[in-house]
Chain A
Amino acid sequence: MKDPYEVLGVSRTASDSEIKNAYRELVKKYHPDNYVNNPLSDLASEKMKEINEAYDAVTKARSGGSAGGWQSGGYQSSGSYQSSGAYQSYGGSGSSAYAQVRAQINANQLDAAESLLNTAPNRDAEWYYLKGTIAYRRGWLDEARQNYQTACAMMPSNYEYQNALRTVQGGYTPYRQSNFQRSDMDTACDICNTLLCLNCLCGGCGR
């Protein structure tokens, strides 16, 4: 196993809150929502697993429970994220052919999935959704978007279809570890801290 501190990107002397912040940032970065239908979702899941294990190891090694709140709550349940990379049918069609198509998409067997999908007798919302997902995985974003739009029009209340359409519309930007943003944030925090300090000083002078 890799050095857990290295995985979290913190030094061994980092405080508990620094570790917690680094962990939160990594969870945001590799969150499965950033990799919905992405051909690299398996790599993102592995990365999440590695981060969770590293955080577990660090918190356990650091104390017998000072960070226990974290261990038991919040992100630890993110183990369940790993399964969300796989498709689940929300449409309720229960078709075994669709289940097979989803399994093939998960295994990146896109040609086989498409052949099987094309043999389906009728074209309902799920058919268009799966067609769109195959196109999305190939990087054929125009075709993916058109199919997702048809699926959403046929079943507007389906969250899975809406989410897929939102992703392909380019509206959702994955987490970005941007130096520019971070430096802006630092500046903003510095200003806030300065104002807070000034406020304290003014209060200390008794006005």
Chain B
Amino acid sequence: MFGYVRPRRDLLEQKELESYQAAYCGLCRALGKGYGFAARFLVNYDMTFLYLLRSSVDRPSERACRWCPARVLGKKPCTLDAEGYEAVAACTVILAMEKLRDNVRDEGFFRSLPYRALLLLYRRAGQRAAKRMPELAALTSAQLSALHALETAHSPSIDAAADAFARITEACAGDVKNPVLRRPMEQILYHTGRFLYLADALDDLKRDCDRDAYNPLRFRFSPEQGTLPEADLDYLTQLTDSSVNLAGAALALLPVKAHGGLLENIIYFGFPAVFAAVKAGKFRNRAKMRPIKEKNQ
């Protein structure tokens, strides 16, 4: 995934930061347990948000220190919630596999070789995850095909392109039985997916203009040398702000028992901060310069 869904760490309380770290490490551990060691490398911030959202309506799970491969001999606090992580880990593997397939489809033979190798590496994990959530696997594949068709047609509709992707993220809560919980979760995830797609499109705009590749922003607006005029950037910011508002209004309707502050932070402060960084062209550099371990500083 993209790593655009993250909290504003400077606004988190110490307890919330610890919960976030433990949820991230817990997902890594759950991926390792369910899908083999290699699957641990698929852990990301976006799916940590999915776990926090799905588990927010339950009582907080217990935490314990467990071995962390990144530390070799060290241990890190992990959230222990096998049941809660099961669906999230399956979603993580399914989305990663479809992303790899999409990359294979988009690139030429030689450039796609690393992705083909990874597909082979994660083949069994992918099969197991698809068995756990067959509807999500089928929908993800169909939606990415729909997105591909929009790309081929050079669609200028940012709504249509973002919708094709947002329906995938929305479906990550499709298995929640109670509609009173599922509907707000779906709305939050839909607008999270929409935000992800638009942030990624803006981040890639210059590269796509240089390569003459599809990007809905190229056809909807009039970028000059890969950069959008200020007025268009403001318009796009207002669209993402609207998504933030709709996600926030949905969050208010969830009977949250845990991670409420964290989820509010990610939606109300994380999304706008990430979008501002993308607009300023600083997001990619920031992501490289400040990896996950920044939180311990």
Contacts and interface: CB of A to CB of B under 8 A. Distances in A.
Contacts of B245: 167, 170, 172-174
Nearest to A139: B190
A170 B238 contact: yes
Chain B residues touching A, majority SS? helix
A81 B183 CA distance: 21
A29 B249 CA distance: 9
B79 to A, nearest CB: 20
Interface string B248-266: 1110110000001100100
Contacts of A180: 11
Given A172-B245, A174-B248, A179-B261, A141 B253 contact: no
B184 interface: yes
Contact of B249 (A40, A142, A168, A169): A40
B248 A173 contact: yes
A135 B244 CA distance: 17
A139 B193 CA distance: 11
Nearest to B267: A176
Interface string B212-255: 00000000100000000000000001111111111011101100
B249 A178 contact: no
B187 A141 contact: no
Contacts of A172: 245
Interface stretch (A30-38, A110-118, A153-161): A30-38
A177 interface: yes
Contacts of A38: 246, 249
A47 interface: yes
Contacts of B250: 40
Contacts of B190: 139
Given A135-B159, A138-B163, A139-B163, A177 B264 contact: yes
A175 interface: yes
A183 to B, nearest CB: 9
Contact of B253 (A40, A143, A145, A167): A40
A39 interface: yes
Contact of A139 (B183, B246, B252): B246
A170 B241 contact: yes
Nearest to A169: B238
A43 B184 contact: yes
Contact of A141 (B159, B160, B183): B159
Given A43-B180, A142-B239, A177 B159 contact: no
Nearest to B237: A170
A144 to B, nearest CB: 8
B13 interface: yes
Nearest to B262: A179
Contact of A142 (B13, B159, B244, B268): B159
Interface string B123-158: 000000000000000000000000000000000011
B40 interface: no
Nearest to A42: B183
B264 A40 contact: no
B279 interface: no
B191 A139 contact: yes
B163 A174 contact: no
B242 A34 contact: no
A187 to B, nearest CB: 15
A168 B191 CA distance: 13
A140 B243 CA distance: 10
A152 interface: no
A16 B183 CA distance: 35
B268 A176 contact: yes
Given A139-B194, A141-B239, A143-B159, A179 B253 contact: no
List of 7 A-B pairs having minimum Cβ-Cβ separation, nearest first = A170-B241, A140-B159, A170-B242, A170-B238, A174-B249, A179-B261, A142-B159
Given A40-B184, A40-B249, A142-B158, 10 more contacts: A30-B253, A43-B253, A47-B253, A139-B243, A169-B238, A170-B242, A176-B268, A177-B252, A178-B264, A179-B13
30 contacts: A34-B249, A38-B249, A39-B187, A40-B187, A40-B249, A43-B180, A43-B183, A43-B184, A43-B253, A44-B249, A44-B253, A135-B159, A138-B163, A141-B159, A141-B242, A141-B243, A142-B220, A145-B239, A167-B245, A170-B237, A170-B238, A171-B238, A173-B245, A174-B245, A174-B252, A176-B248, A177-B252, A177-B260, A177-B264, A178-B268
Interface of A: 29-30, 34-35, 38-40, 43-44, 47, 135, 138-143, 145, 167-180
